[in-house]
Amino acid sequence: MKTILYATDYSINSVAALKYAHKMSEEMGTRLVVTHVFGYPIILGLEDLNKPFPHSEENAFLHHREQLEEFCAEHLGNQWKSPNVQVEPVTEKSVVQGIISKAIDWHAYLIIVGVKGESAVRELLVGSTTKHLMEKAPCPILAVPTDAGYLHPKTIVYASDFEEEDIYAIRKLAEMAESLDAEIKVVHISTKKEYVGEMHMEWFKDQLKKKVTYSRIGFELLFSEDVFESLRLYLGEVNADLIVMLERKKKGLSKKWFHRDLVKKMETYGKVPLLSFREGNHQLFYFKAAL
């Protein structure tokens, strides 16, 4: 059974992501592991003074497991009490490394975290933490905005550069889309100056068809001098339920640097959940070895 890992800091920013993760795991028939990273021996967030202070590592884990259970019960009700839902706190100085270690333990198919809305207070699992996860995690990261309610994904938009790395990412995305019976819209937005021609798009289509059998994939080519704004408008026009992008490596052409900036802009856009693949590790949805 595949595993979706959801990480929380107990903030309001992470509640929508919990509900989203739970619904998605139900629809996809996956296991859901709920985790929280805490430091030891320094215990943060101990709000109930009637509970004994955890003096040992074992008690600390029990305390944080109880907190996770209470968090799930508060926001999911009795729905979280399922054999397919696990709660597992992890102790680690680095929040990012703690989440990654748990993802490796469970061979996670996907990591889901919450991100702030435009007016939300900056919390632990937003901003730089999400960005670092996108750059280092062994599986895709789904960033869910604070005000995003779960809607069955009918339309998934993949922002493509029509490069070979995109083909591998779309191949894995198609597995998810098929389980959700969703349509994938592959969109490429280019300036007139950077446009490489219709033949390149046709080459990309041909290569994709050789590796992906999922039929519900469409293609769009748009021209604009403001790629981010055009993508934002396009998401509204097609009523996108999910935006997918590839986090590219630092080395390479200036176009790849530009694409990295676009991923970061979409992560802070805060309207549609963003699924981020990382170039070089998305041929598999989980890795067995630590980074």
Q: Is residue 85 part of a domain?
A: yes
Q: Is residue 283 part of a domain?
A: no
What pLDDT sits at residue 127?
53
Domain holding 115, by residue range, is: 3-145
User: Peptide bond preceding 273: is omega within 30 degrees of 0, i.e. cis?
Assistant: no
Find out whether 91 and 39 touch, Cβ atoms under 8 Å: yes
Q: In this structure, what CATH number is given to the domain that contains residue 104?
A: 3.40.50.620
Cβ-count burial of 96 within 10 angstroms (0-12 exposed, 13-18 middle, 19+ buried)? buried
Same domain, 115 and 190: no
Find out whether 22 and 80 touch, Cβ atoms under 8 Å: yes
pLDDT digits (tens, 9 = 90+) for 150-170: 888 999 999 988 888 899 899
Q: What is the mean pLDDT of the chain?
A: 81
pLDDT digits (tens, 9 = 90+) for 64-103: 999 999 999 999 998 888 999 999 999 998 899 999 999 9
Q: Which of 145, 163, 185 is the last residue of a domain?
A: 145
Q: Which of 111, 145, 179 is the last residue of a domain?
A: 145
What pLDDT sits at residue 3?
96
Integer angstrom CA distances of residue 263 from 76, 103, 140, 267: 30, 22, 13, 6
Query: Three-state SS for 32?
Result: strand
The DSSP 8-state label assigned to residue 123 in this structure reads -
Integer angstrom CA distances of residue 267 from 39, 164, 261, 262: 27, 23, 10, 9
- What's the rounded Cα separation, in Å, for the pair 122 and 141? 19
- Indicate the number of domains in the chain: 2
Position 122 pLDDT exceeds 50: no
Find out whether 114 and 125 touch, Cβ atoms under 8 Å: yes
Within a 10 A sphere around the Cβ of 193, how many other Cβ atoms? 6
Same domain, 250 and 203: yes
pLDDT digits (tens, 9 = 90+) for 264-291: 666 656 678 989 988 766 444 443 333 3
How long a stretch of residues is the chain? Answer: 291
Query: Measured in Å, how far apart are the chain's first and last C-alpha atoms?
Result: 23
The DSSP 8-state label assigned to residue 211 in this structure reads H
Out of 79-88, 182-191, 243-252, least confident range: 243-252
What pLDDT sits at residue 46?
45
Integer angstrom CA distances of residue 36 from 46, 64, 145: 13, 8, 18
Say which residues have a Cβ less than 8 Å from residue 150's Cβ, sequence separation at least 6.
Answer: 19, 20, 23, 24
Same domain, 162 and 138: no
